[in-house]
Amino acid sequence: MQQAEIQQTLIEFISGDLLNDQPGLLLKPEDDLLSSQLVDSLGVMRIVAFLEQQYDVTIPPADVTIENFIDVKTIGSYIERRRSLIGRRADS
């Protein structure tokens, strides 16, 4: 799955499940989810659960940081790295 697909899936989840499809809100991959308070700590945990289920990855608690979850673009990159890491382990 490519970065753009991950981002779109995540935007759809956040917009629909966390933000209840708020009228007039168009979430972009680079929108700051945390400082803007679009997503709170409970929302981050829901995103983590969604990502783990959707992409069959385990996200360690130590990885749930602002640096990894600040925006959709960054989250997408993080998921690609996790999946790549899992793929390398499976090849070993």
Mean pLDDT for back-to-back runs of 10 residues, the chain (92 residues): 90 95 90 95 97 96 97 97 77 50
> The tokens 């981050």 sit on which residue?
44
| pLDDT of the residue at 23 | 86
If one counts every other C-beta atom within 10 angstroms of the C-beta of residue 48, the result is 19
In a domain, 85, yes or no: yes
| pLDDT of the residue at 70 | 97
35, HSE (Cβ side, Cα atoms, 13 Å):
7
In a domain, 76, yes or no: yes
| pLDDT of the residue at 89 | 62
In a domain, 25, yes or no: no
In a domain, 47, yes or no: yes
In a domain, 51, yes or no: yes
For residue 69, the domain's CATH number is 1.10.1200.10
